[in-house]
């Protein structure tokens, strides 16, 4: 007698409630390996390995392009008596940082460090306004003591950021900060807040923040105050 297809399925399910996924062909249950369904797959059905591979390639290409562009600026900066400072920043991320002046207002800044125990790399092009605070009556009163003994520029910029972890994050930093350059000193002290527009693995917003210091070595032409 031929088994009715519509009655075999519910009967098997009632008799084997804990059985794994099955395929029914001509009324006969055929086991299907559950591991084949999700092996190497994400929830949206894409291969996880391929997705991670593409993210890593995109991150490396983005950072390489930015740093190659920066290398060209460094050559130009050296011809313009560019100043180079190196130091540390504490916050998110906690990192070692380097900064090169292309002229009296524009710089290239980069940092390598950790944020939440993950590798964090970013690079920014920054514009410094040395007159904003000095020309503001209210701000000059707040920073009057610092202005008497140095320069206090406000800076803003943008640049790529990569945070390496299970789901590597790629985004654009928009730092807004304040620096202090004491007169007759090779030091720069700074603090900044940097919103991050996250592009991958999903869109959204993050934020970086930190305080730090950089030392401008005399051997590679520290910045001269006018």
* CB contact at 8 A, 195 and 168: no
Q: Could you tell me whether strands 150-151 and 106-115 are parallel, antiparallel, or unpaired per DSSP bridges?
A: unpaired
User: Is pLDDT above 70 for 35?
Assistant: no
Mean pLDDT within 180-202: 94
Domain extents in the chain: 48-220
Residue 126: the pLDDT is 95
Residue 218: the pLDDT is 64
Mean pLDDT within 206-213: 97
pLDDT tens for residues 105-142?
A: 889 999 999 998 999 999 999 999 999 999 999 999 99
Look up the pTM and report it: 0.67
pLDDT tens for residues 79-102?
A: 435 688 999 999 999 999 999 888
Mean pLDDT within 12-25: 51
Contacts of 38 (CB under 8 A, 6+ apart): none
CATH number of the domain located at residue range(s) 48-220 in this protein: 2.40.160.20
Residue 128: the pLDDT is 94
pLDDT tens for residues 37-63?
A: 444 444 444 444 446 566 666 666 666
Mean pLDDT within 167-187: 94
Residue 210: the pLDDT is 97
């Amino acid at each position: 007698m031929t088994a009715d297809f519509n009655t075999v399925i519910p009967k098997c399910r009632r008799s084997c409630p804990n059985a794994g996924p099955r395929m029914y062909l001509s009324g006969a249950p055929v086991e299907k390996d559950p591991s084949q369904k999700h092996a190497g797959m994400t929830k949206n059905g894409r291969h996880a390995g391929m997705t991670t591979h593409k993210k890593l390639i995109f991150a490396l290409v983005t950072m390489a392009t930015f740093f190659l562009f920066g290398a060209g600026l460094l050559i130009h900066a050296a011809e313009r008596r560019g100043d180079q400072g190196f130091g540390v920043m504490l916050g998110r991320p906690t990192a070692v940082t380097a900064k090169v002046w292309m002229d009296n207002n524009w710089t290239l800044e980069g940092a390598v460090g950790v944020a939440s125990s993950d590798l964090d790399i970013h690079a920014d092009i920054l514009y410094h306004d040395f007159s904003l605070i000095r020309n503001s009556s209210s701000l000059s009163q707040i920073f009057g003591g610092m202005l008497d003994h140095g320069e206090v520029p406000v800076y803003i910029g943008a640049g790529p950021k990569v945070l390496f972890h299970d789901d590597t994050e790629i985004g654009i930093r928009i730092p807004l900060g304040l620096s202090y350059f004491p007169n007759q000193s090779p030091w720069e002290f700074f603090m900044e807040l940097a919103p991050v527009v996250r592009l991958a693995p999903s869109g959204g917003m993050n934020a970086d923040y930190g305080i730090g210091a950089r030392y401008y070595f005399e051997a590679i032409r520290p910045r001269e105050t006018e």
